[in-house]
Amino acid sequence: MPRPAIRHRPFGTTPSGEDVSLWHLASPSGAYAEILTYGGILHALGVPDVRGRTDNVVLSLGTLDQYAEKSPYLGALIGRYANRIAHGRFTLDGVTHHVPANDRGHALHGGPEGFDTRVWRAAPLVDGDTAALRLTLRSPDGDMGFPGNLDVTATYALDGAGTLSVDFAATTDRATVVSLTSHAYFNLAADGRDVLDHTLQTDATGYLPVDATGIPLGPPADPAGTPFDLTTPRRLRDTVLAPADEQLRRAGGYDHCWTLAGAESPAPRRAARLTAPGGTRVMEVWTTAPGLQIYTANQLDGTLTDPEGRPLLRHGAVCLETQHYPDAPNRPAYPTPVLRPGTTARRRTEFRFPSPATP
């Protein structure tokens, strides 16, 4: 039986002179993953289909310059805070902190120089049939306005069954807020077209309606009877393009957080199931996170191209971002994203690829 394998090669140099590497993880299942030290980007995820053909099922760009200059968080690790913080400010223990506003007056994904723009340190690991890459980063006190020196570890692991897991661990020396996620863009058909004929199901209990700038309006809402009801598999074409829904018009599709039962879970639970047209590939997302942001690549417009030269199109992928709720630092009723000294924020997300016949 083939053994897991890890190799790497140079991918370029940042304008500040930092060398960037591409790491290739290979699974005995035939699956593979490619990860950049720049932004911790998931550059490729090769998954066999029902016929045994392996294709890359995540959107990517061809060069480091494209990622650094133009990428809409494509495949990146996001921090310190995934999603939006209203008006770029929050108060913690009586002190107000300010994060630069980089999206319609709000802070998005940790501000304009979030973790997606950093070069992470990498260490390869092999354990049995699993190939893994451990990435580490220190975010200093005051980084983008966030308090505390934050030490982060993100471990990508590809096991013998072809499951890709992402494990985060973060510690701080001062109370802070943290929400870390992977911003991979999935297209299970790997055909360069849109994903509107994929079907999507969630195991969520509610979702967060938002205002015109993407900030939650209040507590979770019941999605029953709306295009946000994904408790049974639904074709994205039949939901994302619903013309009468104001929430969809505001975002241009899905860009909303679905709420999972309870707060951070001690063990992963299923959050979503995505199926390619014809059932050629199926992906399940399992996570310990309290929320799942679903984003249907509403802002892609064809100006970016993948390594094969194909344009990246509107609705050309779907992001399934496991995270805390948006604006949770300002919402005491939401599961808390506060991390204090002496504790560790942990999160595990698994991208599983079961047989299409498996319910």
For residue 359, is pLDDT > 80? no
133 found inside a domain: yes
Structural domain includes residue 357:
no
Task: Work out the average pLDDT over 208-224.
Answer: 97
Tell me which DSSP letter residue 238 carries: H
Q: Give the DSSP H/E element, type plus range, for residue 313.
A: none
Say if pTM beats, i.e. exceeds, 0.85. yes
* 183 catalytic per annotation: yes
CA angle 204, 184, 233 (to 5 degrees): 35
Residue 286 pLDDT class (50, 70, 90 cuts):
very high
Quick: pLDDT tens for 236-278: 999 999 878 999 999 999 999 999 987 899 999 999 999 999 9
Of the listed 24, 183, 198, 256, which one is catalytic?
183
Domain membership flag for residue 71: yes
Domain for residue 339, yes or no? Answer: yes
> What percent of the chain clears pLDDT 70, i.e. is strictly above it?
99
> Quick one: tokens of 107?
């802070």
Cα gap 173→149, rounded to integer Å: 6
Q: Is the pLDDT of residue 235 over 80?
A: yes
Supply the CATH number for residue 100's domain: 2.70.98.10
What is the structure's pLDDT at 261? 80
For the segment 54-81, what is each residue's pLDDT rounded down to a tens digit? 999 999 999 999 999 989 999 999 999 9
Residue 356 has what pLDDT?
78
Q: What integer is the mean pLDDT of 169-181?
A: 98
pLDDT band at 350 (very low <50, low <70, confident <90, very high): very high
Q: How many domains does the chain have?
A: 1
pLDDT higher than threshold 90 for residue 3: no
Question: Is 113 in the active site?
Answer: no
Residue 359 lies in a domain: no
Q: How much is the CA Rg of the chain, to the nearest whole Å?
A: 19
**pLDDT in the model for residue 47:** 97
Q: Which of 198, 321, 324, 350 is catalytic?
A: 321
Tell me the pLDDT of the chain averaged across its residues: 96
Spatial neighbors of 40 by CB under 8 A, at least 6 apart, are 76, 77, 115, 116, 120, 135, 154
Distance CA 164, CA 349 (A): 8
Is 324 part of a structural domain of the chain?
Answer: yes
Instruction: Determine the structural domain holding residue 181 and report its residue range.
Output: 5-352
- Contacts of residue 167, Cβ cutoff 8 Å, sequence gap at least 6: 153, 154, 155, 157, 346, 347, 348
